[in-house]
Amino acid sequence: MLHFHYTKAMLRKTILFLMMLLLITASGLYGQTTASEYRERAREKYRQADYDGAIAEATKAIELDPAFAETYTYRGIVHYVKKEYADAMVDFERSIEIDPKYSEAYFYRGTLRYLKKDSDGAIADWTKAIDLGSATPYFHRGTLRFMKKDYDGAIADFTKAIQIFPDITAYRLERAKVYRAVGKIDLAKADEEKVAEMEKP
């Protein structure tokens, strides 16, 4: 019986010790900044135009959560704004490597490729982003197709952009330019008149 009481007492002490240890550990973790909080700090630094600070906070988020693709893309965007294009490319490609279905990384890598005069690479990335469900690249791809004299492709992209974002007048004006380039003056005028109507006060 003595042995039984001794065992119960030891068990109770062990449980109490483990509970205290758990509380101490949890308290320590609670006081630590999470990757999500660092990401939010990075966004706030970016809004304040503190780009170095944004990169530093995003880097801390990556150190805590290196498998979260979005953070690499976000840091890449800040590098892009700072014209640190090589670093931006590394981040966009790392984001795609982690999550090949993350459309935003393809969109921004395509934008960087366009800046570097890699038009085929830009179109490929924007097409991939569109295939993954992003609507933003239609206008960008249409603009580049127009520059490459792919008029049918440009019209198709601008038309899709207009369907998705009907209130953005710039898309109609760009399509009007393509229509004029191929001699479809009536269609160009229709777009221009629609824009004039939309912009009336």
Distance between terminal CA atoms of the chain?
A: 93
Model pLDDT, residue 192: 97
CA separation for the pair 95, 102 (Å, rounded): 8
3-state secondary structure of 100: coil
CB 194 within 8 A of CB 170: no
133: Cβ–Cβ under 8 A, 6 or more apart, which residues? Answer: 103
Domains located in the chain, CATH noted? 37-125 (1.25.40.10), 135-201 (1.25.40.10)
For the question of whether the overall pTM of this predicted structure is more than 0.85, the answer is no
pLDDT of the chain, 201 residues: tens digit per residue: 434 343 444 444 444 444 443 333 333 334 478 999 999 999 999 999 999 999 999 999 999 999 999 999 999 999 999 999 999 999 999 999 999 999 999 999 999 999 999 999 999 999 999 999 999 999 999 999 999 999 999 999 999 999 999 999 999 999 999 999 999 999 999 999 999 999 998
CA separation for the pair 169, 162 (Å, rounded): 8
Q: Which residues of 104-135 are buried (b: 16+ CB within 10 A; e: fewer)?
A: bbbbbbbbbbbeeeeeeebbbbbebbbebebe
